[in-house]
Amino acid sequence: MKPEETERLFIESLFKNSGLQEGEIKVDKLTGDASTRRYFRLVTKKNSYVACLDNPIGNEERYDFEEMQSVLKKSNVRVPEIFYLNREKGFILEEDLGNTTLLEALGQTRSKKEKLELYYPVLDELIKIHAINPEEHKGACFTKLRFDTAKLLDETRVTNANFIIKLLKTDPNDPSINIIDQAFSGICKFLDTEPVVVTHRDFHSRNLMLVEGKPVVIDFQDARMGLPQYDLVSLLEDCYFFVNKEVKQELLEYYLDKSSLKMENFEKYYDFMAIQRLYKAIGSFSLIYNTRDDSRYLKFIGRAFETVLAKLSRYEQLTDLKVTLAKIYYAS
């Protein structure tokens, strides 16, 4: 029996154990994301569901996805329903949200107005996430993690190792590696000087589904405390979809007007966060290619890198980092 057939039989048996009496089911594998989780669509005569196969855990434990789904739902953030869990088998049966991502919907827009009409409700959901009071969820998974200096710097070092050194063939002992690391150390320290909120961590156009025209937030299991700019950058400096300056400015003004955020030097924090976040994304795309031989994400590196250089060029103190990165990139 082929592995995929065994997998389907496994899913069918778990679905039957869920108590949902819906007769025969059809199981189709869905294209996965950048994680190692596997997704399937289960179709019965009555309904359709999405099943996720994750790493098995003990029944006395909770998945971060499960915990965050509960927290977000209580905060009126639209998230997929969970119908059944078998933690020992790593099986999560969820609401089927269809196939329309925000990315696909944005790709069909013909005007600025249409884009804004898609983005405004998305920002409304983000504002609800950022307004969650961690004091009301003491001990929850997201309260134990934070985008502090060490975490932010570790993310940039993944990019140094997988993009600068491995993909661009830079000698690990080249002085440029130290210049990059020292510069990002300063950036990350700066980003660790303001109060934090609950952040989604991967709030981009592929992690937002549209159901009956309204956004549903997915892939929130890695939420942690961080600057609100982290999520704003993920959405508005999206590696997958270009947001022009005019639309971006209107969306930032909308967020600031609707949220309770009051921060001096908002734009500088936004730009520095964009530099770190996009550089980190480049490292993630490179790591996926290096470790899984999956080249799907390499095409998104170019524009992300150019955006990093453009943001760096706005700040004189970051000139050395810009020149160093540009020299390596354009010489490769």
CATH at residue 40: 3.30.200.20
Whether residue 270 is found in the same domain as residue 247: yes
User: Worst-scoring range by mean pLDDT, 117-126, 127-136, 261-270, 305-314?
Assistant: 261-270
As a whole number, mean pLDDT of residues 168-185 equals 98
Confidence (pLDDT) at 307: 99
Under DSSP, is residue 194 helix (H, G, I), strand (E, B) or coil?
Answer: coil
Query: Could you give phi then psi for residue 177, rounded to 5 degrees?
Result: -65, -40
- Cβ atoms 243, 303 nearer than 8 A: no
Residue 246 and residue 136 in one domain: yes
End position of a domain, from candidates 47, 77, 95? 95
Please state the rounded mean pLDDT for residues 35-56. Answer: 90
Q: Band of the pLDDT at 5, cuts 50, 70, 90?
A: low
3-state DSSP call for residue 199? strand
Q: What is the mean pLDDT of residues 67-95?
A: 96
- pLDDT at 1 exceeding the cut of 50: no
pLDDT of residue 257: 94
What pLDDT does 2 receive? 44
- 269-313 pLDDT, tens digit per residue, is 999 999 999 999 999 999 999 999 999 999 999 999 999 999 999
Domain count, the chain: 2
pLDDT of residue 3 exceeding 60: no
Q: pTM for this structure?
A: 0.93
- Average pLDDT (73-94) is 95
Q: Domain range spanning residue 76? A: 3-95
Query: Tokens in use for 127?
Result: 């504002």
* pLDDT(35) > 70: no
251 plus 272 within the same structural domain: yes
Residues 89 and 132 in one domain: no
Distance CA 314, CA 301 (A): 21
In what helix (H) or strand (E) does residue 41 lie, and over which residues does it extend? strand 38-43
Same domain, 187 and 242: yes
Q: Does residue 211 share a domain with residue 327?
A: yes
Q: Compare 198 and 18 and report the one with higher pLDDT.
A: 198
**pLDDT value of position 96:** 97
